[in-house]
Amino acid sequence: MKKLYTPFKINGLELRNRVVMSPMSMGHCHDGIFDDSLAEFYRSRAEGGVGLIVFANMQWDKVRHAHNVPLLTDEKYIPTLKRITDAIHEGGAKVFAQIMHRGTSAPRATIDGLEAVGPSAVPRKFTHFEMPRALTVDEIKEFVSWQADAAIIAKKAGFDGIEIETNSGYLYGQFWSPLTNKREDEYGCQSMENRNRFIVESLTAIRSAVGAEFPLQLRVSGSDLLKGGCTGEDIADICEYLDNTGLVDCFSVTAGWHDSTVPLITMEVPFGNWNYLGRQIKAKVKAPVIMGMRQFITEAEEVVERGEFDGVVIGRQWLADGQLVNKAMRGEYDQIRPCVGCNALCLDAAQAGKDTGCIGNYECNREGELKNADGKFPSEVKSENPERILVIGAGPSGMEFARVSALRGHKVTIWEKRNRTLGLSLFAATPPRRYDIRYLGQWMERECRRLGVEIVLNKEATAEDILAASKDFDRVVIAAGSRAVMPPIPTEEGAPLVHAWDVFEGKANLGNGKNIVVVGGGDVGVEVAMTIAEIDTITAEQLRFMMIYETEPAEKLKELLTHGYYKVTVVEMGKKFAPDINPGSRWSIMYRTKQLGVKLMKETRVLKLGTDYVSVENADGVQKIPADTIVIAAGAKPNNALYEELKDKLPKVDVIGDSVNVGRINNAVESAYRLAMTI
């Protein structure tokens, strides 16, 4: 058995393995009270084999706290928390309460309009520079007392330990950082003792409240990733200092503050990218170290096997697949539904105060809603009337429908006009560092084939073909996706037009001319602009070679990374570029697009598409933009012609996904699952 799946102790608490489920806000909470469905979400993950679950963001400030998060400020919250901890224990796992205080990271709107408080009155980018105020010494002492009270409540609620959230730029870490701690008293940054005084007093009070055997774990950002903040070396020294106090039973390592302009957990971050920060801490402490941030299960097995870390912390993969550890222990790696690192329904939803989910897993966080009296999902219940079903289209909606239908006992055939599956989701996965989106479609295809779904490629369906084949099927489901919209713009004959989708598919000839104009600045327009602008920038492998052999100075390497062959302009009528990309991904896409020198023209109307120019009008008047190639990225509309032609000619015909409404991958998956569960 791999070491990752062997027992592990934190203080005196034995875990059945070394896989920890990262703290994630899941929602289902109002005024500190949880509805019953959240317990079923956690029960499912415990039954999925995880050793330890960290229950996120439990707040102890009795004055300033959000209302849609777990609270440890009063014993009245114990009953709903106890249902959750009981469910986790019944599933075979242990659970820690993660206690936190956002300090100066708390926007006033989330704390009833009160001032945020912290070590010093330093405004933060994360709150759009709202001015906080500095805590008094008496308030700090009160905070220490409140944490002890919260720890007692957590223990009574059935939690097996406490994790203190110092990471991401929250209160405890604010005392460490010279960016946020300008104090000159005993809580200032002048010495290691002073900058750790608050956390040491907190740990001491909690330890006194819960006893010597109750595990206390510290979650730390291995580096703030902010200029002037704590470096990796600083944090390693702080952890060494705290380790020597004997108050910390385990260190859980992440990276970065929310204020950082470095992507931390999106798909563009390589798996294991931040492990070096954990290794720096591991080298200086005696307590166990568990590593989080972009840990894939196979790499997690390797780093624990080598002894780099004592365990790993995995978050969003548990949203994508609640059976993660069970499948990995059986060697069923290909059957693990992947997390694509998009943040769309997890981190973004949590920060917006919504219930968390997963774009590829409709069942995630809907356990209470979907499971029947026997605790089974619709996908685990065989249909009473198995059907032979023909699906048109092998994109996300078509394959998800086929997968769930096959699980329910139906015999499914898919016709796909292309020579591949994935549909239009391939285009979302084509821009640089967006490849991970493909993993979901690839998993769907593997699962369909494993379950006996017949996938026929290069089969373009006409209404006549479907009607002729209908004698062999009980139902037809149209999942034909969407089709491109060509805008009604006056166009000169011979204008060098290509479509963005053809660029992504590698079918478009961009030519030798350097001037590219993209018409449309939505998600497709911005991503195709970034894709084109990166052409002939140096690759990661080339950069590695150049850095190893020091062929160029750092400034030259940066230039080679940010200057490609083409000069790209994006023209958009609206006020915002790529508004449909979820915030957790959008900011880094826009950052890279601008870094590549793409010219972004918003509130600009296209007047004419010429043979070597695009005529536009905006507040600066009418102008001609040189254009050797014009890329059209003007949106899409449902491809529902087949359904309209067949709906009155077949007894059972349905339509799902973008063929109904153009949306995101999660919309396609939801419509497919919901239809499949009813048949």
- pLDDT tens for 488-528 read 999 999 999 999 999 999 999 998 999 999 999 999 999 99
60 φ/ψ sector (left φ>0, alpha ψ -120 to 50, else beta) = alpha
pLDDT value at residue 253: 98
Has residue 445 got a pLDDT over 90? yes
Identity of the amino acid at 118? G
Radius of gyration of the chain (CA): 27
- Bridge partners (DSSP) of residue 599 are 569
pLDDT value at residue 202: 98
Question: What is the distance between the alpha carbons of residues 105 and 116, in angstroms, rounded to a whole number?
Answer: 7
Has residue 480 got a pLDDT over 90? yes
- Average pLDDT along the chain: 96
Question: What is the distance between the alpha carbons of residues 32 and 151, in angstroms, rounded to a whole number?
Answer: 16
Other C-beta atoms closer than 10 Å to the C-beta of 37 total: 18
The tokens for 238 are 């702080």
Question: What is the distance between the alpha carbons of residues 397 and 264, in angstroms, rounded to a whole number?
Answer: 30
pLDDT value at residue 286: 98
Question: What is the distance between the alpha carbons of residues 52 and 82, in angstroms, rounded to a whole number?
Answer: 16
pLDDT value at residue 618: 96
The tokens for 279 are 């290794």
Other C-beta atoms closer than 10 Å to the C-beta of 536 total: 10
Contact 287, 249 (CB under 8 A): yes
Tracing tokens 């222990």 back to the chain, one arrives at: 329
Q: Where are the beta strands (DSSP E) in 177-221?
A: 216-221
pLDDT digit string (tens) for 569-610? 999 999 999 998 999 899 999 999 999 999 999 999 999 999
pLDDT value at residue 240: 98
Has residue 648 got a pLDDT over 90? yes
Other C-beta atoms closer than 10 Å to the C-beta of 236 total: 24
Question: What is the distance between the alpha carbons of residues 260 and 257, in angstroms, rounded to a whole number?
Answer: 5
Question: What is the distance between the alpha carbons of residues 589 and 104, in angstroms, rounded to a whole number?
Answer: 27
Distance, C-alpha 343 to centroid of its chain: 2
Question: What is the distance between the alpha carbons of residues 9 and 357, in angstroms, rounded to a whole number?
Answer: 31
pLDDT value at residue 67: 81
pLDDT value at residue 68: 86
452 φ/ψ sector (left φ>0, alpha ψ -120 to 50, else beta) = left
Contact 538, 460 (CB under 8 A): no
pLDDT digit string (tens) for 318-345? 999 999 999 999 999 999 999 999 999 9
pLDDT digit string (tens) for 617-638? 999 999 999 999 999 999 999 9
The tokens for 431 are 């821009």
Has residue 351 got a pLDDT over 90? no
Has residue 135 got a pLDDT over 90? yes
Where do runs of H (alpha helix) occur along 385-430? 396-407, 425-428
pLDDT digit string (tens) for 386-406? 999 999 999 999 999 999 999
Share of the chain above pLDDT 90, in %: 95
pLDDT digit string (tens) for 58-84? 999 999 988 889 999 999 999 999 999
pLDDT value at residue 126: 87
Question: What is the distance between the alpha carbons of residues 617 and 606, in angstroms, rounded to a whole number?
Answer: 7
SS3 386: coil
pLDDT value at residue 353: 87
pLDDT value at residue 216: 98
Share of the chain above pLDDT 70, in %: 100
Residue 137: C-alpha distances to residues 63, 142, 179, 201 (Å): 17, 9, 20, 12
pLDDT digit string (tens) for 106-115? 999 999 999 9
Contact 48, 325 (CB under 8 A): yes
Q: How confident is the model at residue 36 (pLDDT cuts 50, 70, 90)?
A: confident
DSSP conformational letter for 470: G
Mean pLDDT of 340-356: 92
Question: What is the distance between the alpha carbons of residues 560 and 538, in angstroms, rounded to a whole number?
Answer: 6
Has residue 173 got a pLDDT over 90? yes
Other C-beta atoms closer than 10 Å to the C-beta of 610 total: 19
What are the structural domains of the chain? 3-370 (3.20.20.70), 378-483+637-676 (3.40.50.720), 486-634 (3.50.50.60)
Residue count (the chain):
679
The tokens for 522 are 């939505």
The tokens for 28 are 């289902």
Tracing tokens 């050797």 back to the chain, one arrives at: 628
Whether the CA torsion 377, 15, 162, 182 is positive or negative: it is: negative
Torsion over CA of 29, 41, 335 and 377, rounded to 10 degrees? Answer: -120
Q: How confident is the model at residue 299 (pLDDT cuts 50, 70, 90)?
A: very high
pLDDT value at residue 187: 98
pLDDT digit string (tens) for 534-583? 999 999 999 999 999 999 999 999 999 999 999 999 999 999 999 989 99
pLDDT value at residue 517: 98
Terminal CA-CA length for the chain: 41
Identity of the amino acid at 238? I
Has residue 455 got a pLDDT over 90? yes
Task: Give the DSSP per-residue string, 276-295.
Answer: HHHHHHHTT-SS-EEE-SS-
